[in-house]
């Protein structure tokens, strides 16, 4: 959520920087809104009235479909936004929420209205907080400083997209800030993870006043606690020249008097605040270049805005990095859980199947038909349990992001062996239901191969055959005397390998695999897993009704794509 919010805010900042060329960024804004938000999200800019540079997708010119800002229930929100006010999140039908927010320049003039629609209220609340924070920071950009703002945009984009190496990224930020603000030093302090009452010096470029102090600073607004500690405690931006530094009650004057006289001429610090209003740290710059000597100059308002926007993006970067780290921890825990669960479920099952096999061998000596039937039923139930366990494990692997398949080249003989194992596995049920089981290869030579995960595709066929047997068993009336049929075909065609499973059981009315998840006839666990395995192979699967029964067909690429 934070990452998408910051991408949107970067686009909004483009509006502030390039408003005289607003149409140049229209398509970029449009793409962002359409990708991440609902269909009625749009951006409006002023002319005689606020007309959208990209209309809602539901709006059609010359038809009686109104723009979103013309509809009842939304007019009031847009009127408030045109006055520069930000209305509350507006609930709509079908659990949809709408955010209407003005974008203001430093003169509090509305330069655009952002209209976002989403099913995620928390997403919109987060965006609202960040947009309001952006609006507070905006200024009319001095065209002579355009390169500085372009540099800020480059840094901001890196902060919200390149999260893999935060330390290197922060060093680059500190270096870029020194150059852009013409400062001699930039320091970034972060709240200590060991003790949140302290700040720790995390990244620095240039020689800072805090070099003379400990790398840990206690967060405090008490006198003599230090300027950085004051910014953290008060959460206020602090910009001072040389004389103001000496007069500030929080300056630790005694220990830094000589250092100040010879070095510090200007100081600017900005708190880094997270999306939940949590203090994450402080970023500060010292010594605006060219301010030494008798002339008293401090960092400009434009510098304050630059550092404030940078602090906002640093906060997002840190939060995203923490989220990724936490997600990785959870993923590792889930993986551990998956392997432990998989082992705990499969081990006793395999032991049970092996015991049944040994008992079956022993029972042959007694020639006890009743005992053989009991063992047969137990074995059949074990196979059902095995299929259920595998489907559950596939489902867990998908949920935790573990790859479902490990494909490799599988030759013709391996596929044929797979079909024979399939026939053996279902031999008991096939005989009991009086079903004929057939398979054939079409246009496939012994030299052909398929790029697939053999075990996963075998599990797919197990699920499909089990589904076919259940369909035949549910057929009314049960035409047992005629003998039902399950036919499997494997065919090479158009550079792909097609697998087809046909049965003459209960038919279906439509393609099972194209139905939405909410459909009453939605897929069960086995067919859901089947669909995911085929998609993981970059293949496709579909089903269709026959005059009598059903055909399910899927194809796999002949070679890895």
Same domain assignment for residues 90 and 160: no
Whether the bond between 477 and the residue before it is cis, its omega within 30 degrees of 0, is yes
Same domain assignment for residues 133 and 237: no
Please classify residue 466 by burial: count the beta carbons closer than 10 Å to its beta carbon, then call 0-12 exposed, 13-18 middle and 19+ buried: middle
Q: Is 190:36 a contact under the CB 8 Å cutoff?
A: no
The tally of domains found in the chain comes to 3
- For residue 55, give both structure tokens: 């209309």
- Which regions of 274-402 does DSSP assign to beta strands (E)? 279-288
- For residue 101, give both structure tokens: 């927010």
Same domain assignment for residues 74 and 202: no
Residues 473 and 293: their CA atoms lie apart, in Å, by 96
Phi, psi of 407 (to 5 degrees): -75, 155
Helix ranges (DSSP H) in 144-272: 146-159, 166-180, 227-234, 242-247, 253-262
How many C-beta atoms surround the C-beta of residue 446 within 10 A?
10
Same domain assignment for residues 449 and 305: no
DSSP state of 141: P
> Using one digit for the tens of pLDDT, what is the confidence trace for 452-483?
999 999 999 999 998 888 888 766 455 553 67
Residues 458 and 462: their CA atoms lie apart, in Å, by 6
Q: What SS3 class is residue 318?
A: helix
CATH number, domain at 432? Answer: 3.30.565.10
Same domain assignment for residues 89 and 152: no
Q: Which of 81, 111, 140 is where one domain is finished? A: 140
Residue 369 included in any domain? no
Same domain assignment for residues 148 and 110: no
Same domain assignment for residues 102 and 165: no
Residue 396 included in any domain? no
Same domain assignment for residues 416 and 460: yes
Q: Which of 106, 125, 140 is where one domain is finished? A: 140
Same domain assignment for residues 274 and 417: no
In terms of residue numbers, what domain contains 431? 403-557
Residues 238 and 230: their CA atoms lie apart, in Å, by 9
Same domain assignment for residues 166 and 125: no
Residues 167 and 245: their CA atoms lie apart, in Å, by 30
Q: Which of 108, 140, 172 is where one domain is finished? A: 140
- For residue 105, give both structure tokens: 């320049």
Q: At what angle do helices 454-473 and 525-536 cross, to 10 degrees?
A: 150
pLDDT for the residue 95? 64
Residues 530 and 209: their CA atoms lie apart, in Å, by 63
Residue 26 included in any domain? yes
CATH number, domain at 25? Answer: 3.30.450.40
- For residue 485, give both structure tokens: 């049929």
Residue 57 included in any domain? yes
Residues of the chain with pLDDT under 50: 1, 48, 52-63, 65, 139-141, 143, 209-213, 254, 257-258, 260-262, 291-294, 476, 481, 518-521
Residue 363 included in any domain? no
Residue 395 included in any domain? no
> Using one digit for the tens of pLDDT, what is the confidence trace for 375-429?
777 877 888 888 888 888 888 777 777 788 888 888 888 999 999 999 888 888 8
Same domain assignment for residues 470 and 430: yes
Same domain assignment for residues 344 and 438: no
């Amino acid at each position: 959520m934070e990452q998408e919010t910051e991408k949107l805010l970067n686009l909004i900042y483009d509006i502030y920087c390039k408003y005289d060329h607003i149409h140049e960024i229209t398509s970029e804004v449009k793409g962002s809104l359409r990708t991440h938000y609902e269909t009625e999200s749009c951006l409006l800019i002023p002319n005689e009235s606020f007309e959208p540079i990209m209309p809602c997708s539901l709006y059609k010119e010359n038809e009686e479909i109104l723009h979103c800002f013309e509809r009842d229930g939304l007019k009031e929100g847009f009127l408030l936004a045109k006055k520069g006010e930000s209305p509350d999140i507006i609930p709509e039908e079908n659990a949809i929420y709408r955010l209407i927010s003005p974008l203001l320049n430093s003169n509090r003039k509305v330069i655009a209205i952002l209209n976002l629609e989403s099913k995620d209220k928390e997403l919109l609340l987060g965006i609202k907080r960040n947009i309001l924070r952006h609006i507070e920071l905006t200024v009319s950009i001095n065209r002579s400083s355009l390169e500085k703002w372009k540099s800020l945009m480059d840094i901001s984009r890196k902060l919200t997209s390149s999260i893999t190496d935060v330390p290197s990224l922060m060093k680059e930020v500190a270096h870029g800030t020194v150059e852009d603000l013409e400062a001699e030093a930039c320091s970034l302090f972060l709240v200590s993870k060991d003790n949140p009452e302290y700040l720790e010096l995390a990244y620095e470029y240039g020689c800072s006043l805090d070099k003379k102090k400990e790398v840990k600073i206690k967060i405090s607004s008490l006198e003599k606690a230090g300027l950085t500690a004051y910014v953290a405690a008060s959460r206020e931006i602090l910009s001072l020249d040389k004389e103001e530094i000496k007069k500030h009650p929080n300056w630790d004057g005694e220990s830094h008097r000589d250092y100040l006289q010879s070095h510090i001429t200007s100081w600017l610090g900005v708190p880094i605040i997270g999306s939940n209003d949590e203090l994450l740290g402080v970023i500060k710059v010292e010594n605006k270049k060219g301010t030494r000597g008798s002339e008293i100059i401090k960092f400009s308002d434009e510098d304050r805005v630059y550092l404030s926007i940078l602090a906002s993006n640093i906060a997002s970067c840190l939060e995203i990095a923490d989220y990724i780290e936490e997600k990785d921890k959870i993923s590792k825990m889930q993986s551990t859980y998956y392997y432990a669960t998989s082992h705990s479920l499969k081990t006793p099952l395999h032991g049970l199947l092996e015991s049944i096999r040994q008992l079956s061998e022993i029972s042959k000596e007694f020639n006890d038909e009743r005992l053989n039937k009991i063992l047969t039923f137990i074995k059949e139930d074990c196979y059902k349990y095995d299929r259920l366990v595998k489907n559950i494990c596939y489902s867990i692997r998908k949920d935790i992001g573990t790859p479902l398949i490990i494909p490799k080249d599988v030759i013709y003989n391996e596929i044929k062996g797979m079909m024979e194992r399939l026939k053996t596995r279902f031999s008991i049920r096939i005989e009991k239901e009086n079903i004929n089981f057939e398979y054939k290869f079409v246009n496939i030579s012994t030299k052909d191969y398929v790029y697939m995960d053999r075990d996963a595709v075998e599990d797919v066929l197990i699920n499909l055959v089990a589904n076919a047997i259940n369909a035949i068993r549910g057929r009314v009336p049960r035409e047992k005397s005629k003998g039902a049929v399950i036919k499997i075909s494997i065919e090479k065609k158009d550079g792909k390998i097609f697998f087809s499973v046909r049965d003459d059981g209960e038919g279906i009315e439509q393609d099972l695999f194209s139905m939405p998840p909410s459909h009453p006839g939605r897929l069960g666990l086995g067919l859901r897993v089947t669909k995911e395995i085929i998609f993981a192979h970059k293949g496709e699967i579909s089903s269709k009704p026959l005059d009598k029964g059903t055909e399910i067909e899927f194809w796999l690429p002949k070679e890895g794509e």
